[in-house]
Amino acid sequence: MIFLQYLLPQHLLSRLMFRFARIKTPWLKNSFTSWFVATYKVNLSEAERENVKDYEHFNDFFTRSLKKTSRPISSLPVISPVDGVVSQAGKINKSEIVQAKGKKYSVSALLDDKSIDTAYFNSFTTIYLSPKDYHRIHMPCDGDLVSMKYIPGYLFSVNQRTVNVIDQVFARNERLVCFFNTEFGEMAFILVGAIFVGSMQTSWEGQITPPYSKSVKYYNYMDQKIRLEKGDELGRFNMGSTVIILMPNDFPNLNLEEGQALKMGQSIT
């Protein structure tokens, strides 16, 4: 049941999953990975390493790299940053983002910042990554990293059944907010944690969680000149979760609809 999640020791279970996913014992990691591939119908023919025995541990498989031909990068302005399914996408009205039918949450709650100019962002997209998906996260467009913010929180599941029931789940869960300057203005790119997401990491800072913190952490990159080109790796989820992109007025209109399946690299404009 969904409401059982309120009673579960979410962070403890996620720490245990983090450890389990890094067990190197061959028979255990090979058996579990083979079961996972069969259960979730993972397409290993896309991966650089097609044999489960070639992975050091389950997390090595879960964050596997793909053949370059598996995800060509579109030449159009904005691409999907991940493999996944569009949970919601559209305009931000009165600084509120649609979570699911009948449920909304505010931009300031998501960013944990009551002082931010919430009217600056006028559109959003939320993409859910399922267990079978490719779990590396890439830049949707060229951008210069400005800052990052780690926000502690719950670790509710972010599958569609939970999102449809639990209020403001994305603004309550642990998350990592990355701000980029782009040719269209400043973009906020949010990685949302979830139960069994044993770790979130970025290409410039490495592993952010664990350890889990009870306080907000700020990272300033204004003087470091960190630039990511469209298609560059931004980060990784070490289990399935969700990304949210908040876009300014001048950002291209995205051609997305609820339930649409996406592959990293395809045009979404």
Q: Which residue pairs from 39-47 have beta carbons closer than 8 angstroms and sit at least 24 positions apart in sequence?
A: 40/130, 40/131, 40/132, 41/132, 42/132, 43/132, 46/70, 46/71, 46/134
Scored b (16 or more CB within 10 A) or e, 165-190 reads: ebeebbbbbbbbbbbbebebebbbbb
Could you tell me the pLDDT band of residue 97, with boundaries at 50, 70 and 90? very high
205, 239 contact by CB (below 8 A): no
Structure tokens at 164: 């449809």
The residues that are catalytic are 83, 138, 241
Residue 157 pLDDT more than 90? no
Residue 118 pLDDT more than 80? no
Structure tokens at 76: 């159009």
CA–CA dist 176, 86 (Å, integer):
19
* Matching residue, tokens 């690299």: 265
CA–CA dist 268, 264 (Å, integer):
10
Tens of pLDDT, residue by residue over 170-188, are 999 999 999 999 999 999 9
Beta pairing, strands 103-106 & 206-209: unpaired
Tens of pLDDT, residue by residue over 39-89, are 999 999 999 999 999 999 999 999 999 998 999 999 999 999 999 999 999
Mean per-residue pLDDT for 191-213? 82
Could you tell me the pLDDT band of residue 159, with boundaries at 50, 70 and 90? confident
CA–CA dist 57, 83 (Å, integer):
22
CA-nearest of 48, 193, 63, 201 to 136 is 63
Q: What are phi and psi of 165, to 5 degrees?
A: -115, -45
Residue 7 pLDDT more than 80? no
Across the chain, mean pLDDT equals 90
Measure the CA angle with vertex 91, ends 152 and 136; round to 5°: 50
Mean pLDDT lowest among 7-11, 124-128, 239-243, 244-248: 7-11
pLDDT at residue 235, rounded to an integer: 94
Mean per-residue pLDDT for 220-248? 92
